[in-house]
Each structure stands twice: as structure tokens, then as C-alpha cells.
Amino acid sequence: MDIAIWLLTGILVAFVLVWLRHRFASFIAQRPEDYETGEPFDLRRHLNGPFTCDGVIYGPTGRVASRFTADFDAQWDGNRCVMAEHFQYDSGSRQDREWRLELGNDGTLRAEADDVVGTGIGRQHGSALHLQYRIRLTEDAGGHVLSVTDWMYLAPDGAIVNRSQFRKFGIKVAELVAVMRAKTPEEKDQAA
């Protein structure tokens, strides 16, 4: 009987420690208030016009599953934005997406896209933006619906660093890390 009690106590303590780490010391434990310092991230200013993006997607084992480059074009009309995204993956496949964003005067953000289930909800605060949504993968990727926690951090040079985690039933199945930067005048001329 003593062994069973010790075993159950050990399991309970391990569960509590994992929960505490997850709740207070993990990626999803971040809060917008953690980023009060630094240049304020104003989406209308910092995520406006043509952008280029480079990134990697990590699979569930932590190894790189895919690499990509992308061209973005974010056009604001007051507090509303349409952002067109054109991805090219290392596999040769391409993907086009369009985000429809609405920024509240209090820094809240509503985000919709054709592959987003419902509406994404976020908040910009200080030098960061936090967004949560559910995304439906394409059929060739399994058609799964994943919960996404998305953070964008404004770098001192104006680049935007994006880190996203994708979860299914609370288990991390993928992670994305990307850097977005405004296109130079030369890059804009080449695209034209």
C-alpha cells in the first residue's frame, strides 16, 4: 500500500510540475504586458505595404519540416487591412492566402482568413502582438484543425520576428519561426 501511495503522489507531483511549467514558463505563458518596453509595435505603420518573409516550420520532433519564402502586401484603410500572402516552399509548392484584419482603438485585433475557423483574436501591446486562432490545414496536409498561438515581435531595425505554435488536443505538433521585413526600393522595382 505504501508503494501505491508513493507512486500516486509522484505522478501527481509530476503532473503539477508539468502544468506549472506550461502555465508560467512556456511559450504560451507569455502575455502582451511582458513587452511594455521598446518601440511600440503599431501594425498600421510597421506592417504596411510590401514585405518579404523567410521562415522555417518545425515538425513535432523539433526538426525542420519545411522552409519557405514569401511576399506579403498589407494595405490599410483606417483600422482595416487586407494582407495578401504568396508563399513558396522548399518542396516547390506554392500557397496564396489573404488575411482580413481589424484593429481596435484599444489595440485589440480581429483576424479572418479563408482557412481560419471562426475569427482570430489578438492584441498589440508595447513591442509585441499576440494572436490566437484555429486554422484548417489543406486536405493534402490532413485537413486537421489546429489551435495556433502566434506572437510577433518588433525588432529594433523594424523587422518583425514571428513565432507560432500549432497544437492539436493541446499537444504541440508544429512551430513556425519567420522574419518579415519591408521591401527595399530595389526589391519593389524588381517585383513591378
Alpha helices in 130-192 (DSSP H): 185-191
pLDDT of the residue at 1 = 58
- Name residues whose C-beta falls within 8 Å of residue 50's C-beta, 6 or more positions apart in sequence: 71, 72, 73, 182, 183, 187, 188, 191
Given a cut of 80, is residue 14 above it in pLDDT?
no
Q: What is the pLDDT of residues 87-126, one digit of tens each?
A: 999 999 999 999 999 999 998 999 999 999 999 999 988 8
167 φ/ψ angles, rounded to the nearest 5 degrees = -130, 145
Distance CA(44)–CA(124), nearest Å, equals 11
Q: Given the C-alpha cell 482603438, which residue does it identify?
A: 105
Quick one: pLDDT band at residue 187, thresholds 50, 70, 90?
A: confident
Q: What per-residue confidence (pLDDT) applies to 22?
A: 55
| Tens digits of residue pLDDT in 114-161 | 999 999 999 988 899 999 999 998 888 788 999 999 999 999 889 999
- Spatial distance between the Cα atoms of 77 and 107, rounded to a whole number of angstroms: 16
Instruction: Please tell me the CATH code under which domain 31-191 is placed.
Output: 2.40.128.20
Answer for the pair 71, 53: CB distance below 8 angstroms, yes or no.
yes
Residue spans per domain, the chain: 31-191
**Cβ atoms 38, 154 nearer than 8 A:** yes
Q: Who wins on pLDDT, 139 or 78?
A: 78
